[in-house]
Copies of this chain bind each other. A is one copy, B any other.
Amino acid sequence: MPTEAIEKIHHPPRDEIELSAVLHALSDPVRLKIVSALAAVEAGQEPTCGSFDVPVTKATCTHHFKVLREAGVIHQRQDGTARRNTLRTDDLETRFPGMLATILEAANS
């Protein structure tokens, strides 16, 4: 039932993004690597889950994307059988000014 599956992609609205959930989502090295990679793509790019170079199985990777999405860190859009991902940069910046940038700087230093 792909239609139903598509409808079930839930994203918390901006006002319901919780700090603890975001920090938890970013506390895993693989998820932080995914977020760093998403922050580095050009505007308008929406990489699929499979395009990230991370040392985990596809199932684990899918789980990591789900944790990031449910925390409000990324947005996922169904595109055929793939999911395309973008960082919710504006939402995070509005909720927690400057925070994502300093965490990504720490991750990349």
Contact = CB atoms under 8 A, between A and B. Distances in A.
A6 interface: no
Contacts of A19: 32, 103, 106-107
Given A20-B29, A23-B23, A27-B24, A102 B99 contact: yes
Interface of A: 19-21, 23-24, 26-29, 32, 95-99, 101-103, 105-107, 109
Tell me the number of copies of this protein: 2
A19 B20 CA distance: 15
Nearest to A23: B27
In the A-B complex, the 7 residue pairs with the smallest Cβ-Cβ separation, listed nearest first, are A96-B106, A23-B27, A24-B27, A99-B102, A98-B102, A102-B102, A23-B23
A102 B106 contact: no
A49 to B, nearest CB: 21
Given A20-B32, A21-B27, 8 more contacts: A19-B32, A23-B23, A23-B32, A23-B103, A27-B27, A95-B106, A96-B106, A102-B102
